[in-house]
């Protein structure tokens, strides 16, 4: 299983409409990404989050399936929408089948 974890801190301009649209993008990804096991966007509730208030966690059957998601039109559209609102981002890709 391949896990894609993105932690983000957003600018003050990220309002309720922004979060609703990001969830709509997430739903489109859940409907279209091949070999996707799970894809969630939500609030980071860790007290030690260091301002990284939200996360996207995606789990794919393989790194190759993750690569297809990365290149997909919906993911590219989502990234283009979100980038102006992201103050800071940390990405972790973890392939549990190839430690």
pLDDT digits (tens, 9 = 90+) for 36-79: 999 999 999 999 999 999 999 999 999 999 999 999 999 999 99
What is the CATH classification number for the domain harbouring 72? 3.30.70.100
22 occurs within a structural domain: yes
Q: What is the pTM of this model?
A: 0.93
Residue 21: strand, helix, or coil:
helix
Token pair 């301002």 in the structure block, residue? 51
Give the pair of three-digit tokens for residue 65: 């399936």
50 occurs within a structural domain: no
Task: State the CB neighbour count (10 A cutoff) for residue 1.
Answer: 14
Q: Report the pLDDT averaged over residues 5-32.
A: 98
56 occurs within a structural domain: no
CA distance 27 to 44: 19
CA distance 30 to 35: 10
Q: Report the pLDDT averaged over residues 79-95.
A: 98
25 occurs within a structural domain: yes
pLDDT at position 99: 75
- Per-chain mean pLDDT for the chain: 97
List the domain range (segments joined by +) for residue 90: 2-45+61-95
The count of structural domains within the chain is 1
73 occurs within a structural domain: yes
Give the pair of three-digit tokens for residue 46: 């860790």
Token pair 């103050």 in the structure block, residue? 87
52 occurs within a structural domain: no
54 occurs within a structural domain: no
């Amino acid at each position: 299983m391949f896990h894609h974890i993105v932690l983000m801190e957003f600018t003050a301009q990220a309002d309720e409409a922004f979060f609703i649209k990001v969830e709509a993008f997430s739903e489109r990804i859940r409907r279209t990404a091949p070999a996707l096991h799970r894809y969630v966007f939500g609030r980071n509730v860790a007290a030690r989050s260091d301002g990284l208030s939200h996360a996207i966690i995606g789990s794919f059957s393989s790194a190759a399936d993750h690569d297809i998601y990365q290149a997909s039109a919906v993911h590219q559209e989502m990234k283009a929408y979100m980038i102006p609102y992201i103050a800071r981002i940390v990405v972790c890709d973890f392939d549990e089948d190839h430690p």
